């Protein structure tokens, strides 16, 4: 956790957001990163996502089962989703999402939006060409040599 916190502080010093994360396997840090949203002009470049990408690259896998993530702040909804998709075993965090909201990093609106029905969300979700799009799902379903995840 101290390394995640150190990375968060280093990020602030370098012009990034105050978030850091490390992925650990068997007591060893596999990857560590900070938030680089403003530095990379990438809204997905949160510390957790960056650390997951690095860990997957280093380990040569998209499945981080057997690993844990230490993050300087409770993960936002995007990062939480990425953590679940990566199959990390545990999440350790320092600051809470309430702490983050107090310094204007407020994700609460996203948590609330997710709970709303699709037609009640502030960002319209508009279905288009499902009858064509479904063909790729059928192709996936029938493909025998696919890598499932």
Distances (CA, A) of 119 to 35, 77, 111: 32, 20, 16
Q: Please tell me the predicted confidence (pLDDT) of residue 91.
A: 98
Q: Catalytic: 144? A: no
> Roughly how many angstroms between the first and final C-alpha of the chain, as a whole number?
29
Which residues make beta-bridge pairs with 120? Answer: none
Residue 88 has pLDDT above 90, yes or no: yes
Q: What is d(CA 1, CA 19) in angstroms, rounded to the nearest whole number?
A: 12
DSSP secondary structure code for residue 33 in this structure: E
Q: What is d(CA 16, CA 94) in angstroms, rounded to the nearest whole number?
A: 18
The helix/strand/coil state of 22 is strand
The mean of the pLDDT values for the chain is 96
Tell me which of 10, 13, 48, 113 is the catalytic residue: 48
- pTM beyond 0.85: the answer is yes
Q: Please tell me the predicted confidence (pLDDT) of residue 148.
A: 87
């Amino acid at each position: 956790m101290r390394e995640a916190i150190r990375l968060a502080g280093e990020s602030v010093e370098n012009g990034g957001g105050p978030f850091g994360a490390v992925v650990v396997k068997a007591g060893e840090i596999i990857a560590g990163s900070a938030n680089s949203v403003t530095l990379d002009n990438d809204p997905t470049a949160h510390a957790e996502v960056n650390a997951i990408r690095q860990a997957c690259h280093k380990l040569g896998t998209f499945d981080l089962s057997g690993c844990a993530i230490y993050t300087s702040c409770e993960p936002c909804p995007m990062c939480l989703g990425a953590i679940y998709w990566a199959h990390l075993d545990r999440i350790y965090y320092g600051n809470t999402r309430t702490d983050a909201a107090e310094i204007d990093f407020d994700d609460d609106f996203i948590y609330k939006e997710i709970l709303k029905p699709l037609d009640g969300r502030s960002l319209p979700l508009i279905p288009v060409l499902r009858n064509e799009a479904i063909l790729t799902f059928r192709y996936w379903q029938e493909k025998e040599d696919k890598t499932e995840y």
